[in-house]
Amino acid sequence: MTGKGQGFGFGLGKMKELADAFKKAQQVQEGAKKLQEELEIMEIQGEAGGGLVKVVVSGNQEPKRVEISPDVLGEGAEVLSDLVTAAMKDAYNKSTATMRERMEELTSGLELPGF
């Protein structure tokens, strides 16, 4: 081993970039925790049949409630089942889109040196 003092091949500029990246990553981690809390209490509604069936989920896709209009009850079990399924898909798609948008906002500007 020679003691040339070159460390791991990082110059001082790279060390500062790395420190800044760690700081930003820590901010993102704190933001992610806050976002997780927001998603848990968020209510996102999906619907089908022009609003005859509504499904409400959290931002984490946790089912919260289903609302079924009395007007659709006479349509039969198969139609009602299809409407509930469609409303669930709508709620799921909206919640995943919301989560994706919020995560992109959170991580925008996060540039790790060397990656």
What helix, strand, coil percent values describe the chain, rounded to 5?
Answer: 60, 15, 30
Mean pLDDT of the chain: 85
Q: Residues 6-21: what's their mean pLDDT?
A: 72
Q: The pTM is what?
A: 0.71
Q: 90 to each of 11, 39, 111, how far by Cα in Å? A: 51, 17, 34
* Angle ∠(74,61,92) on CA atoms, nearest 5: 60
**Least confident stretch, 6-10, 21-25, 58-62, 97-101:** 6-10
Between 12 and 88, the higher pLDDT residue: 88
What are the pLDDT digits (tens) for 69-108? Answer: 999 999 999 999 999 999 999 999 999 999 899 888 877 7
Domains and their CATH numbers in the chain: 12-107 (3.30.1310.10)
pLDDT band, very low/low/confident/very high, at 115 (cuts 50, 70, 90): very low
CB 72 within 8 A of CB 80: yes
CB 84 within 8 A of CB 66: yes
59 CB-contact burial (10 Å; exposed 0-12 / middle 13-18 / buried 19+) = buried
